[in-house]
Structure 1
Amino acid sequence: MFLGLAAMASPSRSSQSRRQCKSETRFSSARSTSDTNLVSLQSHSTLSASTSLYCIGQSDQLVICWDIREEVDAGDWIGMYLIDEVLSENFLDYKSRGVSGSHKGQIVWRIDASLYFMEAETKVCFKYYHGLSGALRATTPSVTVRNPSANELPQTLGSRRLISFSLSDIQAVGLKKGMFFNPDPYLKIAIQPGKHSIFPVLPHHGQEKRSGIICNTVNPVWKRERFNFVSLPTDVLEIEVKDKFAKSRPIIKRFLGKLVVPVQRLLEKHAIG
């Protein structure tokens, strides 16, 4: 099977960051007599950091504590983000919350000098995500990460940002045919996390595209079709070839072949040309 990689766009980021509301909220000094209001004020999930200023290589350990009032799951995770980041996929680092299933807990977070902290000070925050639904449960206040060695870091930026790319001119060669019929193949293409990826399953995983059907051939070519995806470089592209009408032809298997390609390999191939 041959893959044609179309032009790849640059890493995608939200063009607009959320602006903090500058208007001050005024609170009445009168105490509410509503039990419902009192309960709701105490029912919000919280995530906190042990300090608002962390100096790489000098500060004591950073402790992230959670108190989650909604449903929790063993797959819940906490990500570290630049303060203006709004996409869950664009974390700088992440840690599994653990499998204890507790609504309350804490985890020690060590921040090392890296290409994400090339400036003297960088503002980050931490976010708690529900593993099953991907829902944001809680966010910490801003933490300033100070890097005394910032000027010594190389001036290149490694990134885990989502990238967008397109596939076109896909061709399959030598598909298996039945005793009496050639297959009517089509493609099912999906983005999945890599087998050895340390990242959790994220919302963009599971993207799936299907091609049109090429009738009566063992060497199909999808010339006029383009498939667009977003992914992390650590993801893989799964391409399955199936026979559309195999269900009505018991002598032909529906599954005709599968190819798994690391996204990073596609990017390198495109860069080489």
Structure 2
Amino acid sequence: MATPSRSSLSRRHCKNGVRYSCAAEPYCYSSDPDPLTLPRSTSDTDLVSPLSRSTLTVSTSLYCIGQSQDILICWDIKEEVDAGDWIGMYFVDEVLSENFLDYKNRGVNGSHKGQIIWKIDASSYFVENETKVCFKYYHGVSGALRATTPCVTVRNTSATVSIYIQAVGLKKGMFFNPDPYLKIAIQPGKHSIFPALSHHGQEKRSGIICNTVNPIWKREQFSFVSLPTDVLEIEVKDKFAKSRPIIKRFLGKLSMPVQRLLEKHAIG
């Protein structure tokens, strides 16, 4: 509630010069050198009870993509609510409501209290090993921020592949040696319990080794977002050349579970 202005308060004067308000008014004024100590308004922010504030809570402070259970987000809104209210996921330092990473409508029942399930999938937002996010509740009509959760650390297992690959005895054309390169991609594992996710299908390409059937790729590095259940596919292809259009470009393929790469990296 806004603090009323002093001009809005009716005042009366006594014969002795003491100024005071009527009995129904909460303020007293005095011309004495030692004025009365006035009580602070209970509407001051630092005096508001935590029970009277809107809250948004989250079930965990650490979420591992592909491994943790879905997040449970609960709200208890003290202000006006609307069927268009929504909850957004943000980087912790984001201040603009429109820059959400993901969002969900909180439901149409108009309740001041409720909960919603949230699953975080691997995406381009979570390319680092750990990313800190929070969730914010917004009023659908006014756009006012109602409540914010504490920080949640989103952990993503990523595979960094350092390439040292040698291919031996690649197929030679009738008149030309191939100009091979590698096409590297992340795909879901054959027996994975997870469906195809947004990070599946990432592709990188190596440099071209010209005019050889025994190429070696050294010191090439590629970073992928992945799950341990994913598969790293390495395909050897011949560079396309208009001078030899009938030459088959596919030269070989190798598939390796990401989990095996992680284990080798841990061993050193």
Structure 1 length-normalised TM: 0.44
The structure with the larger Rg is 2
Task: Give the structure, 1 or 2, with the largest relative contact order (CA under 8 Å, sep 6 or more).
Answer: 1
Name the TM-score, length of structure 2 as normaliser. Answer: 0.45
